Amino acid sequence: MTILVTGAAGNVGRHAVEELLREGHRVRALTRDPARARLPRGAEVAVGDLAVPDGLAPALEGVTALHLITFDGGDGAALRTGPRIARLAAEGGVRQVTMLWSGEPGPVEKAVAAEGLPWTALQPQEFMSNALNWVDSVRTEGVVREPFGGTLSNMIHEADIGAVAARTLTEDGHTGREYVLTGPEVLDMPQKAAILGRALGRDIRFVELTEQQARERMRQAGASQEAIDHVVGWYADPPKEAYTVTDTVERLLGRPARTFAQWAQENAEAFR
C-alpha cells in the first residue's frame, strides 16, 4: 500500500509525510520542484503538477490512499482540475482520499465526491504557521502588526493537521466525515504576541493596523484582489468555526491538540 501526499513540502503535507513514515507506511511525496522541496527522508519523491493532471499517472501508480490539497500554488486559486485528478485516482485504485480545504469547500471536493471516491474533508481553521509572517518585524522591532486585534482565533498547529490526515488515511471509519480542526484555545492578537514574547524571552508588542493598511500590505506582497477580500473578510467577520474550539483533534489522535505556546517554543529560532 502506497500513500501519495500532495503539498508534501508544505506546512501540512510535510507533517503528514513524517507521521505516515513514523507509522511505517510507504509514502510517496508529490512536488513540482524536487530540488527546492527538501522532502522528509524516507519518502519516495514524485514530480508532478496538480494543475497539469495528465502528467500525474506515474505518481498515482499503485496508490491506495491520497492526501489532496485543493488549491493551485501557481495562482493561489482553487484547483480547476479536480475532475481529472479524481478520475485518475479512481482508475489508479485509490480507496481513500483526504482533502485539505482552502477555507471553503470548492470544486475539488465536489469532483472527488462525484467520482464516487471515499473521502474525508479536513477543515482546519487558522494555521499557527501564519505567525511566521511576523518574523521580520519581530526580529527587527519586537513588533507584531495585524488588523482586527480583537478577533479571536482557534489557531491550530500544522503538525496536528498532518497527524489527523495520516490517521484518517490509514484507519477505517472516517469516510464521508467533515472534520473541523482547531487548536485547544482561542486567542486574540495581543495574547498571541505575548505568548510569542514569552517563548523568545523578550517583550513583543502588538500594533493594530487599519483595514486599509492591511489591504495595502497584502497588495504589495502580490496577493490577488480575491485573496485580499477573502482574508480581510475572514478576520473582520470570522465565521463561528474560526473562534469555536472543537475536540476533534483530541478525539482522533487520543491526545490534546498542541498549544500556540508549544508552537512558539518549537519555532523560536526563526524569530531570533
Ligand X SMILES: NC(=O)c1ccc[n+]([C@@H]2O[C@H](COP(=O)([O-])OP(=O)(O)OC[C@H]3O[C@@H](n4cnc5c(N)ncnc54)[C@H](OP(=O)(O)O)[C@@H]3O)[C@@H](O)[C@H]2O)c1
Helix, strand, or coil here: 135? helix
Helix axes 13-22, 158-170, angle to 10 degrees: 50
- Looking at residues 31 to 60 of the shown chain, list those that interact with ligand X (rule: CB under 6 A): 31-33, 37, 49-51
Least distance from ligand X to the Cβ atom of residue 152, Å: 15
Least distance from ligand X to the Cβ atom of residue 129, Å: 6
Phi/psi region, residue 97 (left: phi>0; alpha: psi -120 to 50; beta: rest), is beta
Contact window for ligand X (CB under 6 A) among 96-104, 131-139, 190-198, 255-263? 96-104
What is the largest distance, in Å, between two alpha-carbon atoms of the chain?
A: 55
**What gap in Å lies between CA 166 and CA 81, rounded to an integer?**
24
Instruction: Out of 16, 97, 100, 180, name the contact with ligand X by CB under 6 A.
Output: 100
Which CB atom, from 75 or from 141, has the smaller least distance to ligand X? 75
Helix, strand, or coil here: 162? helix
71 binds ligand X (CB under 6 A): yes
- Looking at residues 15 to 34 of the shown chain, list those that interact with ligand X (rule: CB under 6 A): 30-33
69 binds ligand X (CB under 6 A): yes
Contact window for ligand X (CB under 6 A) among 67-75, 170-178, 181-189, 241-249? 67-75
- Looking at residues 197 to 256 of the shown chain, list those that interact with ligand X (rule: CB under 6 A): none
Per DSSP, 136 falls in state H
Strands (E), the chain: 2-5, 26-31, 44-47, 63-69, 96-100, 119-124, 143-147, 178-181, 205-209
6 binds ligand X (CB under 6 A): yes
9 binds ligand X (CB under 6 A): yes
Count residues binding ligand X (CB under 6 A). 30
**Mask 117-156, x = binds ligand X (CB under 6 A)?**
-------x-xx--x--------------------------
Looking up cell 522532502 gives 39
Intra-chain end-to-end CA distance of the chain, in Å: 42
Which CB atom, from 34 or from 142, has the smaller least distance to ligand X? 34
Residue showing the smallest CB distance to ligand X in the complex: 10
Phi, psi (rounded to 5 degrees) for 8: -70, -20
198, 261 Cβ separation under 8 angstroms: yes
Interaction site with ligand X (CB under 6 A) = 6-13, 30-33, 37, 49-51, 69-74, 100-103, 124, 126-127, 130
